[in-house]
Structure 1
Amino acid sequence: MKKFSMWFVAAAFLCTCAPHLLWAQSMEMTSAKLYIQQNDWDKAIQWLQEALKKKPENAEAHFLLAQGYGMRGKLADMVAEFAAVQQYDKKNKYTKDLASYRQKYFAESFNTGVKAFNEQNFDMAADKFATAAMLDPSQAASFQNLAISYRQIERDLSTDVPCEGCAAEHEWDAVAVLCRDKATGAATKFCCCPEAKEQLEAAIVKTHETLIKMQPDSLTNYLALSDYYKMKNQMEKSTTLLAEANQKFPNNAKVLGEMAIAYDYMGKSEEAFQTYEQALANKPDDKDLRFNYGRLFLLRAEAAGKKEPLDHAAVAVAYGSAIEQFSKVLAAEPEDFDSNYNIGVSHLKIGEDFDKQIRELDE
């Protein structure tokens, strides 16, 4: 009887002085942890969700639920739980663990994306790089590879190759920019969703714009988006972006050269000439700039040759200027076939125009 009484007193003391030791953990949390010990994450997730219904500020429940979602490949849900942990973990108990899990899944997604890209599985590559970007938005490489993957997919969608291996029903996930199997939610081929073709352009532009914001001092990012605009024949957008780049990187020959090309495509020949001259003043030995400048003189000569009445002097001057520019290219690279060819054509055209002048005089 004495032993029982002492035990009862001790129990009463425990309940009075430290009740949290007995009742701090809910039945839902206890059940979840038991299932975690048994590696039954599906049931553990169910109990953790129930625990959070009763106590949404439970940082431990959010952390364990994040683990469960990670184990089940639901990485977007995992990231959402990471955010909840950071919100409620006032003592930063889980900070190191969160960083460790984030890095683990980031590395897995990124490396899988690289492997898929090298195997030309661009659909999977885009999915994995997008996931990597979500897991660690500070890593520019994820966005760079994502933009390239999107552009490869867009190129493939522009062909008439039939889309094979699509399940019965698919749905377009506009938020994630993915085509999903409607039954399982798994990412599948972009070509299985007709919306992909029209929505990829916006995703590509957004990804390039994100890179520009992340790395404002990187000229490469400006040029990449400008190149995409040119490819889509959106020259006004291209020149606007290049003008912005020119303010940030004044007198950069590459920027000026790209601007000149865009002006050329837009039919703004005078702006193109001025921009090439500015670019060559900063980089006179650039063979590509010099070649494109010479090609512009060829176009000017052809246009002059079509005018009525024919301005023979303008034709001769334009072809002569073209020869001058292509000759400078050959001085640096004597075997350049296109420059040699264009010089030959220019001499031929000058001769033809001279013959026209003789015939006009005879008449």
Structure 2
Amino acid sequence: MKRYFILLFFLISGTILFQGFQCASPEMTTAKLAFRNNDWQKVEEFAGKEIAKNPKNGEAKFLLSRAKIKLNKTEEAAKLILEAEKLPLEPEIKQQIPLTKFLIWTNAFNTGITHFNNYMANQNKLLLDSAIYYFKIGQMIRPQNAEFDRLIGRAYEELANEEKAMESYLEYAKKLKNDLDWAKNVGVFLKMPRKDLASKIGKAKESVGDRLGDDSVLTDVYSAMGRPIYIYYSLDEKNEFIVEGWRVNPPAEWLENEKTSYIPLDVNPFAFLAQSYFNRAVAIRDNQTLDSAKRVAGINENLEKAKDFTKIITNIDPTNIDANRFLISLYEAQGKSDEALAEIGKLVQKEPENKFYLAQYGELFLRLNKYDEAIEQYQKALKIDPEFCDVNRNIAAAYKNKAVAIIQFQEDKKDKDKNFKENPEEYKPYLVQSADYFKKARNCEKYKNDLQVLSELANLYFGLSNLGMNTKNDLNLIVDDLERLEQSIPDNEKEVYWLKMCKILGDMNSPKAQRACQEAKKYLK
């Protein structure tokens, strides 16, 4: 489970200068002196007495708010500073309001994160209530900061309160709309290399580096049409900076280091919303008490919402395979596969060199069993990036499926015409290419020990061997790799593992097949 980081900021708080005490009440004078002496309980007592006598004294509320911060009474501090800033204040006090608000919301944020992380460690759900409480305090001070909505929604997810989680995540999406629209319009997305972004929108006017835990992070500051734009990066496994998030025109009242502070954009709230709306569509479909017209309208309304939130993910995280597949499934559920092709086709037309859009296009064609079209798009993507792991894996599947379709066609024809002769040369080249691409996919750590990729290679090498190709040694090496996987296979995947091994070893007439098949039976449900 993901652990969240506490915000760290470095500020020069400055000295608070007060006007002379000669016109102040005894309570106010005592509160100011106590403030200078860091006697926070006395500040609390006498500033409180002053406010009771004079509720319009903004300076007293400011002093009391600062004391409440020191006394860890964060909610009271938040309410007081919001009241104080609406009242007449001397300039030297007024200029301290932004810093005070900053201290309150960061304190609330960090306390909430601590409670949330403690919950993740011991699963005590009371800690989630505390986390939500503090996040809502932070939200009082920074209502425009979508991060609080995300964190509150995440806590409600853990509490299995779908309605509250959706409510918070919808606010998250609403507050990020301008950021998301900007990214879509200029073609910026998550995991985009910094150098690629610079080629799109130019050189940053300023860069701010920092560290988060053991990781190096970076913020670039841009200006477009008079609006400041902050781009956040982290280092990837190649030691290159990649985009992790952005903010467009954050509120002017925020301190500059708030704006430059690294905040990654999280797609999980959009995934939760998409899945929730899809689940609602399914529930309506299964509700036989509704009349047909209401069911159809309800299903389509929720599927459209599911599509909208899934599209947000595919726009800003085009490498997200699960989101791409889910979006295709949603179109298919509505019988609108052609509409999906048209939409992704427009993206490809707009940015023909965008390997991620090409990969999405290929994925859709593959799902629609249009193998030639899928292969065409995948080849274009690989021309841009020959080491594109997911595309190497998917084009391998496309070639295999094309070969299987030809085999099925020949078998059907033979069933109808006993004189028909099957021609392996029509499909063998596609099996060879499939094996080559699966092998190339294994160069990536992601697929090096992937059970599906290894079993596909084993089946391909076995089939090619039967077609007269010298692939027996390749087959044996793959089987060795599969056998080495045994100890690392999770319990919930062992049934699949042993079923695959039973078939592969059985096809090879290996003496090890008997054990594999026996193990498979143990896990059969």
TM-score by length of 1: 0.58
In structure 2, the residue matched to 1:296 is 364
Q: Give the whole-Å Cα distance in 2 for the aligned partners of 1:289 and 1:96.
A: 49
Contact 1:295 1:322 in 2 (8 A): yes
Equivalent of 1:350, from 391, 406, 412? 406
- Taking the TM superposition and a 5 Å limit, the aligned residue runs for 1:312-331 are 318-329=370-381, 331=383
In structure 2, the residue matched to 1:311 is none
- Taking the TM superposition and a 5 Å limit, the aligned residue runs for 1:123-142 are 123=128, 131-137=137-143, 140=145
How far apart are 1:330 and its partner, in Å?
Answer: 5.0
Equivalent of 2:393, from 325, 329, 337? 337
Aligned AA for 1:237?
K
| Structure 2 gap segments, 5+ residues each | 1-20, 122-126, 190-245, 247-264, 279-301, 420-525
How far apart are 1:41 and its partner, in Å?
Answer: 4.5
Aligned AA for 2:141?
L
Q: Give the whole-Å Cα distance in 2 for the aligned partners of 1:58 and 1:150.
A: 34
How far apart are 1:154 and its partner, in Å?
Answer: 5.1
In structure 2, the residue matched to 1:265 is 330
Greater fraction of residues in helix: 1
1:234-288 deviation line (CA, Å, top 9, x unaligned): 5412544688999xx9xx9959x97996354232211111112212222334444
Q: Give the whole-Å Cα distance in 2 for the aligned partners of 1:63 and 1:344.
A: 71
Contact 1:239 1:263 in 2 (8 A): no
Tell me the secondary structure at the aligned position of residue 87 of structure 1.
coil
How far apart are 1:55 and its partner, in Å?
Answer: 2.0
Once the two structures are aligned, what percentage of the paired residues are identical? 19
Contact 1:223 1:242 in 2 (8 A): no
Q: Which stretch shifts more, 42-51 or 70-79?
A: 42-51
Tell me the secondary structure at the aligned position of residue 89 of structure 1.
coil
How far apart are 1:223 and its partner, in Å?
Answer: 9.1
1:52 counterpart = 2:51? yes
Q: CA 1:147–1:353 in structure 2 vs 1: closer, same or farther (change >3 Å)?
A: farther
Equivalent of 2:344, from 273, 276, 296? 276
Q: Give the whole-Å Cα distance in 1 for the aligned partners of 2:179 and 2:354.
A: 30
Tell me the secondary structure at the aligned position of residue 333 of structure 1.
coil
TM-score by length of 2: 0.42
In structure 1, the residue matched to 2:229 is none
1:145-168 deviation line (CA, Å, top 9, x unaligned): x4554465455445xxxxxxxxxx
Q: Give the whole-Å Cα distance in 2 for the aligned partners of 1:339 and 1:154.
A: 40
Tell me the secondary structure at the aligned position of residue 88 of structure 1.
coil
Equivalent of 2:273, from 207, 229, 232? 229
Q: Which stretch shifts more, 52-61 or 222-231?
A: 222-231
Q: CA 1:74–1:204 in structure 2 vs 1: closer, same or farther (change >3 Å)?
A: farther
Q: Give the whole-Å Cα distance in 1 for the aligned partners of 2:380 and 2:183.
A: 31
Q: Give the whole-Å Cα distance in 2 for the aligned partners of 1:39 and 1:31.
A: 12
Measured on the aligned residues, the alpha-carbon RMSD in Å equals 4.6
Q: Which stretch shifts more, 260-269 or 201-210?
A: 260-269
Equivalent of 1:199, from 164, 180, 190? 164
Contact 1:114 1:125 in 2 (8 A): yes
Q: Give the whole-Å Cα distance in 2 for the aligned partners of 1:269 and 1:79.
A: 51
Q: Which stretch shifts more, 222-231 or 111-120?
A: 111-120
Q: CA 1:236–1:328 in structure 2 vs 1: closer, same or farther (change >3 Å)?
A: same
1:124-157 deviation line (CA, Å, top 9, x unaligned): 776666544543456x5xx33x455446545544
Q: CA 1:282–1:223 in structure 2 vs 1: closer, same or farther (change >3 Å)?
A: farther
Q: CA 1:282–1:264 in structure 2 vs 1: closer, same or farther (change >3 Å)?
A: farther
Q: Which stretch shifts more, 289-298 or 219-228?
A: 219-228
How far apart are 1:102 and its partner, in Å?
Answer: 2.7
Contact 2:78 2:137 in 1 (8 A): no
Q: CA 1:230–1:46 in structure 2 vs 1: closer, same or farther (change >3 Å)?
A: same
Contact 2:274 2:310 in 1 (8 A): no
Q: Give the whole-Å Cα distance in 1 for the aligned partners of 2:396 and 2:312.
A: 36
1:159-218 deviation line (CA, Å, top 9, x unaligned): xxxxxxxxxxxxxxxxxxxxxxxxxxxxxxxxxxxxx55412211221232233578634
1:65-88 deviation line (CA, Å, top 9, x unaligned): 212322222223223222332232
Report how many aligned residue pairs link the two structures: 280
In structure 1, the residue matched to 2:67 is 68
| Structure 1 gap segments, 5+ residues each | 1-20, 159-195, 302-317
Aligned AA for 2:351?
K
Q: CA 1:92–1:356 in structure 2 vs 1: closer, same or farther (change >3 Å)?
A: same
Contact 1:323 1:346 in 2 (8 A): no
Aligned AA for 2:182?
D
In structure 2, the residue matched to 1:193 is none
Tell me the secondary structure at the aligned position of residue 165 of structure 2.
helix
Q: Give the whole-Å Cα distance in 2 for the aligned partners of 1:223 and 1:361.
A: 58
Equivalent of 1:208, from 173, 195, 198? 173
Q: Give the whole-Å Cα distance in 1 for the aligned partners of 2:36 and 2:349.
A: 71
Contact 2:152 2:165 in 1 (8 A): yes
Contact 1:48 1:61 in 2 (8 A): yes
In structure 1, the residue matched to 2:436 is none
